[in-house]
Structure 1
Amino acid sequence: MFAASPVVELAGSRTMACRGPRGTAPPALALRVRRWPQPGSTGRHAGLRAGAATRPSLTTGIYCRFGLNHEARRAAPTWAASSSRHSGFTPEDAMLLDTLIRSQERRVLRDGDTVTSHVGASGALPSGTSAAMSVHGPKFQGEQTERLIAALPTPFQNALQAMQQQDSRRLLFYLHQIVAMPEDEMVAAVQTIPRTTFSEFLRSLDPLDVVPENDPTHGVHINPGLWMVLNMGAIIDEWGVRVLYARLLRQMLTLMRALHASGSVLNVNDYVPLLRAAGASSDVAVVKLLWGQMIEHGISYWRQGSIYNEFVKARLLVEPAYFGFDKTRLAMTARNLHRRGRVRLHAETIGGLDRLRLATRQRSYRFGLNKNIPHAEDLSRIMRKPRSATRMFYYIQHWGFHVTERLLCSLMRGFGRAGALRFIQYRILEDYFAITVRQNKRCDEVYVGPTPPRTTPHKDPLRSRTPTMKPSARLMEAAIDVYCSNGYLSTAFTIVDYLSSKHRIPISPKAWFELFEWTYVLSSPAVSTGWNYVGFRQRIPSTDAVEMIWNTMTSPPYKVEPGFKQYDLLIRSLLGQSKIHQAMKYMESARKFHQKQCADCESAALEYTRARQTGVDATAALRRFQRARFLKEYMWHRMNGWCNDLLKHKWRPKELHEGSRWIPDVIRDWRDFIRNPVQYRTATGFVEMYDPAEEIPEWIHVRDDTLRVPVREGGETHLAEIHQAQYRVASKHSVGNLMSTRLSPLAILKGDLIKARKRTRRGRLYLARQAERLTAMSDERISSASTFSGQGDGPDGEGQGEADNWDDDDW
């Protein structure tokens, strides 16, 4: 065992401190690194923590504020240079620290069991406690914990049991029962639970671990068309957010309020699942409230680099799950570039871009909007200013937090949302990775190479002269996201090529798929029209860019095997360019994915039916069946879109006769993916074909909504109203609102949905009743921010879609 020195110095202004945990003491004493504010600082974070009674005196001690790897640190005065009698870490404290460390290794063998001895937070045994009692501490505490848990209400006991069994589905079910309890009973139960058990329970609700197992749509972008056609109102709310994410956030905030009412506060690590849940719900307001609450409760000095990484990802919506796997939501647009740097757009140009946004919002409903304001504001408008990311970057550097590649990549994506590419080039790529990116605007040439060694220090003392990190595949993916989201596709390709050749980083299939998808997004009419309107045509890919990337990644030496999503993007790109015959070739190849998925859905349905009949636990079988059913209908919807584009194609006069003879063959081969009736154009008019053996999808009106979009005209900004009508399609392809406990899986497999609904008392008026419910809830919608502040009509809140009532077999 080492002997602690009288003075301990770590990176930045830090000193070793120990703090007794709340509630039941853990089996081992946790030692944490604690940071002290700079004397005289009046910052937003440091100023609030300057008055703690346990902090050392900083009137005479001077410390170094530079990073650990900075050359100026060697000559700067540190804690070691200050007087020991004024230092907060005395020789007696060093002896106490050595005693605490030694006591953790003391083991006592009694009755064949190994028991760890415990000491108090001050290093001595509690008064009136003998050594024998301290030996039996863990056993006594375990029995006491079991008695406390046995006295809890039944929902809490079942939830803790599900947590121990790692059954996330039962855990979410009993969590719904917990938050439905009366407030006084919930507070009393939370006060009874040991503090460490409550922290573990809260961390078991991490959405990044719970939701992928319980959300069949995880990893798939749900657009408004798919939302209506597949009747997914119970899965995706009107903001385009998973209902499971929004419900989980409200429930976790209710637990947090109950903990505060019992007289305790959350630990720093307990805020990680809350930040992730707020980010997954795309609720930036709750993220900022949670971050500010750490300061109010006096625990902000426990923050480490990992906590800042989670905050940056949630605040700037970095993770794909945080923006609904939709790259168009947070991509930089020409409208957001106004007054960014040297970009100044004319008033007429701004008006035209606002009208373009108004036209694209017509059929997007509320997807991708900020839910905390009454009018329509895109999430990209919140991220368009780099002030929050810049302030966080300098704060992390100033206080000497450990900077990792994960944190830098998250900050890069945050700066990319605001279009701050120069900051990324100089302060991140050059300072940390020694990568220089230069672009010649005259000839549109991009240079990417190593940064030459610097002989003189920077004017800014926080900038290091030598780079400290080596690039990896994570940096490659972050660079693709940053530069492609801003329209610099060629720059992203050059950086990928440089990292692959210079640093021997292989180009993964994920990187190829990201480049391929971003190329399709940038060439789509909604994005390319805006860049073309302001004259930034260099940010629009060429017409054959999508096909060129496809040929490159599927040919040697890469030989990447694309999936159904990549085939979908390629086919839609070819159909948009009127390359019908090439698109048909790839449609035949993509059809194999749907055939395989149909076989998986059949086997999953039979497995689930067998599990229900035998009476065994059918949770795993149900999850597989729901996932397989959704993917099958998702593929059908995308292939139905291909067929609609083919039938709606405007043939040239010389090709019209050939197309008229060719379309019947297409209808015969792809009849399973074409809606009934089908209509197409001929030389003399239109032909409509009706199949009486197939069902006709019913479009049921759900509700009318009015959306107010800011539009600037005549030098003034006014709110233009958009009247939108929402519909749901009742057909055999609907995947929402199906109770698997009341509906036979074989009926779902056969597609006999309408008859099954009649048998389960869910007739045609079901969606109309849901429309009345949504209309009544639209005026009483309670956001997660109001739940955070303790307002609302219940612990669970209201108004987050069509699936507030949780069922064990609902999803």
Structure 2
Amino acid sequence: MLGFIRAGESLGSHLVPTRLGRGTTSILEPGQVEVKVDLGDHETSKAHDDIGAGPQVESLDDLERNFNAIIRDGQPDQVMDAMLDPRFESFVCLMPPSTFVEVFHLLSPAYFIDPYREIHRPIHPSAVDVKQYRSLDSIFDEFANNLSAILQIRWAGGQPLGLAEYTHLLDCARSMGDAIMADYIWHTIREDGMVPDSQCYNYYMEAKVWDKAYTGLEKYRLRMTPYLYRKRRFFEPNPGWQGYGTAARSVRKEVLQIFNEMTQEGTSGDTTTFVNVILASSRVGHMQGIKNVLHTVWNIDVDALLEQVEESMLPEVTPYDRSSPLYPTSHLLFAVAHAFGTNNDIPAALRTIDFISSRYDIPVPENVWLELFERSFVLSRPRFGPDAERNAKGQVTYDFLNTMFETMTAEPFNVRPTIEVHHILAKTAWDRARLSEFQRHMEAAYDLLRETRKKRRTARSIIEAYLGQPQTQILRSRAFADAVHAYDILRVRTMQQTVIMERLARLLLIHHRWMGRQNQAWERSLLPRALEEWRDFLPESVVYHTRGGLIEFDGATSWRQRNIRIHDRVPVRRPAFGTNINLDDDANDIDDDIFWDYYRQSAPHLDLSIPPLRRLFEAVQEDNVSSTYDDEAFLAEELGYEAGELEIPRVGRATKMPRQMRATAEDRQTGEADDTIPTGPGPLSWA
């Protein structure tokens, strides 16, 4: 992503960072004019008491106090802004290495990247584009560019970087799935004669394994199929197939080369190291490689588990003390779920996870269940095209997916379903024309949106209270920065869940065989009720089918616009005739984007150069241009059709189900009893 590593830069020796404490620490090297960073009690400058007065001239003492206070507070957003602020450039440039390392680690991907990566995971890139939301790629780019700018300031002052800083950069590359950035960092470490530790190696391998797997269409193309293997083997892959490679570009070969280099240097690996080797093998479909690692490190025989031999006949796992770096972790459980799931073998994933969990006494966390569920959903989809038979490898039935949901949400696992889980189950009900089941999951998804919206409203109220304070210096406080960050996460999550609700409403509308070909109840009663109940999640321009023909409403808004509503209120589920729905308490609340637009217009004196305010208002969109997004693209995205399947049904015949798809679905439905899963307490190995 970024070439911010300067060739030939001498990094010097590894400096162990010391813990920042109270007192006074020089930020200049010996022999230079001393400017001190006061790490004592927070002293606030009065230079910004008037938020509407614009920037004012500050003395060196004021700058020193402000910078000291920010560093001492350690609020990540404020630290990032201070490190990039030209007023503080000399402080950043001349900061002692140990202090810089401590401050640099505050700029963590766990704070700046991971929450947004998780929220963007279920949102299709086309939906982000239509809604004009900030893309995950742009979030990654901004974070990496900010880190690069900070390092350039250090280099300008002749300050070398040590292994601690480069380890942190590798962690950032790992979090973003950026192998190019990791390569730059790794080569610089080597050029400067540093010896990487196991953490460096692990970060580097993980950046390779997840290269470009979090963004774009690539995040939907992780399942190993013959088509995917072919598309990822090219040295100049097409858009949508960027990132880790297969064949001559094999990511497994790259990771094994890194692993061999690690062992040759005498650096011992840990569980994370072998997790990366497992995932690298899964990326190229090397199933034996996955099994070999599990058997060599933990003495887990996957083939014996699948043969359902007696527990007493299975070999004992390799005993490790819980403090051992090779003791299995939840990270290993997730890797097993992902590796076998993306290679079309859910039974192997379930039995291996159950075996590791029971033998090493590790509870199965929610993220592992959700990964198993998502991989099972992918394998439940109907297949099309010339590769349909090969792509159907590992296929599971719809009822298998539903029973997995019942199992993971019941005792003893008690996984709380996310909105993505209900979205998946609603799509499965859509395929099977099960209206009541679809509506049940749609309503459950809306309940989660309503819950998130209440949290967002509370977070917004806190910010409004800060903005109403007469002493505007509080807008530069850590508390306000924390409040804006918490609110921003909830704002983006509300956006995610609103998009999912709109897509569910669209699916509900375009399925014109809910009640069967001859049943008039849908178009005469249930459809009008649905239009009224979910009207806030539908545009004014809609099209749907009836027995008498096509009905088309031509209104002011359409699916191709960012804002599909003509009002400025939050979208809610509306009471309809024949229902017992009560209107939500927040039905008259102004939607947040519009609220902040109004607020900005009513307060032109606001100084948007203050970073938290800039972050608060920069998300407000002022245009509502139309996109080229069409119904066929939407249906392909929603129903999980894979690349390479040439016979994807068009909207006009989607709900009729093509003959090949119908036959496949019938086969799955007639075999549903074979995949019945007990829902009571017990082991995971029920596949």
TM-score (norm 2): 0.67
Of 100, 110, 121 in structure 2, the residue corresponding to residue 198 of structure 1 is 100
Task: Name the residue aligned to 1:681.
Answer: 545
Q: Aligned partners of 1:167 and 1:143: how far apart in 2?
A: 31
Residue 335 of structure 1 pairs with residue 227 of structure 2? yes
Q: Aligned partners of 1:755 and 1:672: how far apart in 2?
A: 21
Residue 499 of structure 1 pairs with residue 360 of structure 2? no
Q: Aligned partners of 2:129 and 2:436: how far apart in 1?
A: 30
Of 293, 299, 315 in structure 2, the residue corresponding to residue 434 of structure 1 is 299
Residue 696 of structure 1 pairs with residue 553 of structure 2? no
Q: Aligned partners of 1:635 and 1:751: how far apart in 2?
A: 18
Q: Name the aligned partner's letter for residue 520 of structure 2.
A: H
Q: Name the aligned partner's letter for residue 432 of structure 1.
A: V
Task: Name the residue aligned to 1:410.
Answer: 276
Deviation of the 1:533 alpha carbon = 3.1
Q: Is the 8 A contact 1:199 1:270 kept in 2?
A: yes
SS at match of 1:330: coil
Q: Is the 8 A contact 2:509 2:544 kept in 1?
A: yes
Q: Aligned partners of 2:627 and 2:172: how far apart in 1?
A: 27
Aligned 1:12-161 pairs, distance under 5 A: 147=35, 158=66, 161=69
SS at match of 2:504: helix
Q: Is the 8 A contact 2:120 2:496 kept in 1?
A: no
Identical columns (%): 18
Residue 669 of structure 1 pairs with residue 533 of structure 2? yes
Task: Name the residue aligned to 2:123.
Answer: 222
Deviation of the 1:433 alpha carbon = 0.4
SS at match of 2:285: coil
Q: Is the 8 A contact 1:275 1:310 kept in 2?
A: yes
Residue 268 of structure 1 pairs with residue 129 of structure 2? no
Task: Name the residue aligned to 1:478.
Answer: 335
Q: Name the aligned partner's letter for residue 577 of structure 1.
A: R
Aligned 1:742-753 pairs, distance under 5 A: 748-749=591-592, 751=594
Task: Name the residue aligned to 2:109.
Answer: 207
Judged with a 3 Å threshold, the aligned counterparts in structure 2 of structure 1 residues 380 and 331 are, in CA distance, closer, same or farther, namely farther
Q: Name the aligned partner's letter for residue 620 of structure 1.
A: D
Of 624, 644, 647 in structure 1, the residue corresponding to residue 509 of structure 2 is 647
Task: Name the residue aligned to 2:496.
Answer: 634
Task: Name the residue aligned to 2:54.
Answer: none
Task: Name the residue aligned to 2:388.
Answer: 533
Residue 546 of structure 1 pairs with residue 401 of structure 2? yes
Task: Mark the runs of 5 or more structure 2 residues left unpaired by the alignment.
Answer: 1-10, 39-58, 318-323, 571-587, 605-617, 629-687
Q: Aligned partners of 1:497 and 1:26: how far apart in 2?
A: 41
Q: Aligned partners of 1:137 and 1:552: how far apart in 2?
A: 57
Deviation of the 1:229 alpha carbon = 3.7
Residue 619 of structure 1 pairs with residue 481 of structure 2? yes
Q: Is the 8 A contact 2:543 2:553 kept in 1?
A: yes
Q: Name the aligned partner's letter for residue 499 of structure 1.
A: I
**What do residues 230-250 of structure 1 show as CA deviations (whole Å, max 9, x unaligned)?**
320xx21xxx52x23211212
Deviation of the 1:149 alpha carbon = 5.1
**What do residues 175-232 of structure 1 show as CA deviations (whole Å, max 9, x unaligned)?**
4434xx8xxx96x76553222222223222222234457x597564432233034320
SS at match of 1:696: coil
TM-score (norm 1): 0.58
Deviation of the 1:435 alpha carbon = 0.5
Task: Name the residue aligned to 1:490.
Answer: 347
Of 371, 383, 405 in structure 2, the residue corresponding to residue 514 of structure 1 is 371
Q: Aligned partners of 2:463 and 2:530: how far apart in 1?
A: 36
Of 580, 586, 602 in structure 1, the residue corresponding to residue 441 of structure 2 is 586
Deviation of the 1:587 alpha carbon = 2.2
SS at match of 1:381: coil
Q: Aligned partners of 1:274 and 1:570: how far apart in 2?
A: 39
Judged with a 3 Å threshold, the aligned counterparts in structure 2 of structure 1 residues 592 and 155 are, in CA distance, closer, same or farther, namely same
Deviation of the 1:488 alpha carbon = 1.4
Q: Name the aligned partner's letter for residue 659 of structure 1.
A: W
Deviation of the 1:395 alpha carbon = 2.2
Deviation of the 1:657 alpha carbon = 1.8
Q: Aligned partners of 2:546 and 2:238: how far apart in 1?
A: 48
**What do residues 516-537 of structure 1 show as CA deviations (whole Å, max 9, x unaligned)?**
1111133346xx5489536253
Judged with a 3 Å threshold, the aligned counterparts in structure 2 of structure 1 residues 137 and 690 are, in CA distance, closer, same or farther, namely closer
Judged with a 3 Å threshold, the aligned counterparts in structure 2 of structure 1 residues 139 and 293 are, in CA distance, closer, same or farther, namely closer
Q: Aligned partners of 1:680 and 1:274: how far apart in 2?
A: 51
Q: Aligned partners of 1:565 and 1:674: how far apart in 2?
A: 20
SS at match of 1:544: helix
Q: Is the 8 A contact 1:163 1:204 kept in 2?
A: no
Deviation of the 1:485 alpha carbon = 1.4
Of 163, 179, 188 in structure 1, the residue corresponding to residue 71 of structure 2 is 163
Q: Aligned partners of 1:153 and 1:376: how far apart in 2?
A: 52
Give the strand-richer structure, 1 or 2. 1
Deviation of the 1:413 alpha carbon = 1.8
**What do residues 718-759 of structure 1 show as CA deviations (whole Å, max 9, x unaligned)?**
xxxxxxxxx897977899xxxxxxxxx975449578878988
**What do residues 26-61 of structure 1 show as CA deviations (whole Å, max 9, x unaligned)?**
889xxxxxxxxxxxxxxxxxxxxxxxxxxxxxxxxx
Deviation of the 1:377 alpha carbon = 3.8
Q: Is the 8 A contact 1:331 1:485 kept in 2?
A: yes
Deviation of the 1:389 alpha carbon = 1.1
Q: Aligned partners of 1:219 and 1:757: how far apart in 2?
A: 27
Q: Is the 8 A contact 2:178 2:212 kept in 1?
A: no
Judged with a 3 Å threshold, the aligned counterparts in structure 2 of structure 1 residues 732 and 625 are, in CA distance, closer, same or farther, namely farther
Q: Is the 8 A contact 1:287 1:311 kept in 2?
A: yes
Judged with a 3 Å threshold, the aligned counterparts in structure 2 of structure 1 residues 212 and 380 are, in CA distance, closer, same or farther, namely closer
Task: Name the residue aligned to 1:298.
Answer: 193
Deviation of the 1:429 alpha carbon = 1.0
SS at match of 1:681: strand
Q: Is the 8 A contact 1:571 1:583 kept in 2?
A: yes
Task: Mark the runs of 5 or more structure 1 residues left unpaired by the alignment.
Answer: 1-18, 29-113, 116-135, 339-352, 358-368, 455-466, 701-726, 736-744, 772-811
Q: Name the aligned partner's letter for residue 314 of structure 1.
A: A
Q: Aligned partners of 1:562 and 1:278: how far apart in 2?
A: 30
Aligned residues: 547
**Larger gyration radius, structure 1 or structure 2:** 1
Of 245, 252, 260 in structure 2, the residue corresponding to residue 381 of structure 1 is 245
Give the helix-richer structure, 1 or 2. 2
SS at match of 1:205: coil
Q: Is the 8 A contact 1:435 1:448 kept in 2?
A: no
Q: Is the 8 A contact 1:448 1:494 kept in 2?
A: no
Deviation of the 1:148 alpha carbon = 5.2
Deviation of the 1:422 alpha carbon = 1.4
**CA RMSD of superposed structures (Å):** 4.8
Q: Is the 8 A contact 2:278 2:290 kept in 1?
A: yes
Q: Name the aligned partner's letter for residue 619 of structure 1.
A: A
Identify the range of structure 1 (599-608 vs 283-292) with the bigger mean alpha-carbon deviation: 599-608
Q: Aligned partners of 1:207 and 1:230: how far apart in 2?
A: 25
Task: Name the residue aligned to 2:608.
Answer: none
**What do residues 445-499 of structure 1 show as CA deviations (whole Å, max 9, x unaligned)?**
6779787599xxxxxxxxxxxx994434332221111111111112101212322
Q: Aligned partners of 1:643 and 1:384: how far apart in 2?
A: 42
Q: Name the aligned partner's letter for residue 253 of structure 1.
A: S
Of 461, 466, 475 in structure 2, the residue corresponding to residue 606 of structure 1 is 461
Q: Is the 8 A contact 2:28 2:96 kept in 1?
A: no
Q: Is the 8 A contact 2:569 2:591 kept in 1?
A: no
SS at match of 1:265: coil
Q: Name the aligned partner's letter for residue 488 of structure 2.
A: Q
Q: Aligned partners of 1:520 and 1:733: how far apart in 2?
A: 36
Q: Name the aligned partner's letter for residue 578 of structure 1.
A: A
Deviation of the 1:578 alpha carbon = 1.9
